[in-house]
Structure 1
Amino acid sequence: MTTEEQTAVHAAMVAAGADRRPGGRTRTFHALLEGWGVEVAGVEEGYAWCGPEFDNDISCRSTLADVWPLLPPRVRSARQPRLDELDERFRAATIEWPGRGDEEQWWMWRIPRLLVIEPGDPYEGGWPAGWTMMPFPKPDSVRVIT
């Protein structure tokens, strides 16, 4: 990246309010994109937290969506393959909410295919504890493992 592009990327992060993490620590665009990669890898391995925490964890993808249109075109073009790869991996590791997949923030309407629970956690064939707020029965394509 040129110095001018680096400055523009930083300005995009600031404009989208994405340059700071909770607690005030700074965050770079690279860290934001790689953070999405870490979340995707965690979902692929099996998600071990509750539904509301899942929403929080994948919110970095929403932040990327806010920053993306503000980036210089050459930076977007160079990083688009990585974003596309991560998005495809996320789609493969999740299932779509019934009737909700075509929305603008599609990632917010997906559920991990593999939910990991601790031995002894309540689970009787439906949603495990932490996911019982889901407004539909657990699909057969969502596996719960200990």
Structure 2
Amino acid sequence: MDEVEEGYSWCAPELSHDLWCRNALAGVWPLLPSRVRAIRQPELDGIDVRYRSATIPWPDRPEEGARWWTWRVPRRLEIEAAEQRDPDWPLGWEMMPFPRPASMEVVT
């Protein structure tokens, strides 16, 4: 979470890989005892709020629902100067199916 907030320095496929823990948690969450969920829910909610603040939703994707976190991109990308080839997506993100949002910051 800290890396996404400070500026994500990996590529889009790597972000998908990094989200495995949130996907796994979503899968086991319903299996946990209700007492454990009640105790841990505020912590999970806080991390989700931080993630929403540090990311931008994909256009035309729901912001709620199952695995909503997979349809978001970091608000700030950190890249090497040589990786910025055009004014749109940097290297490693060019496969995104929409133009880079104006609210996304790319820093070197």
Q: TM-score range by the shorter chain?
A: over 0.9
Q: Which residue of 2 aligns with 1:50?
A: 11
> TM-score, normalized by length of structure 2?
0.95
Give yes or no for the alignment of 1:75 onto 2:45: no
Q: Higher relative contact order by CA 8 Å / sep ≥ 6: 1 or 2?
A: 2
Task: Tell me the secondary structure at the aligned position of residue 120 of structure 1.
Answer: helix
Q: AA paired with 2:58? A: W
Q: Which residue of 2 aligns with 1:87?
A: 48
Q: AA paired with 2:92? A: G
Q: Give the distance between the partners of 1:103 and 1:143, measured in 2 at CA.
A: 26
Unaligned runs of 5+ in 2: none
> TM-score, normalized by length of structure 1?
0.71
Deviations 1:96-119 (A, max 9, x none): 000113341100000000000012
Moved over 2 A (4+): none
Give yes or no for the alignment of 1:122 onto 2:88: no
Q: AA paired with 1:105? A: R
Q: AA paired with 1:91? A: R
- For the pair shown, the structure with the greater C-alpha radius of gyration is 1
Q: AA paired with 2:82? A: G
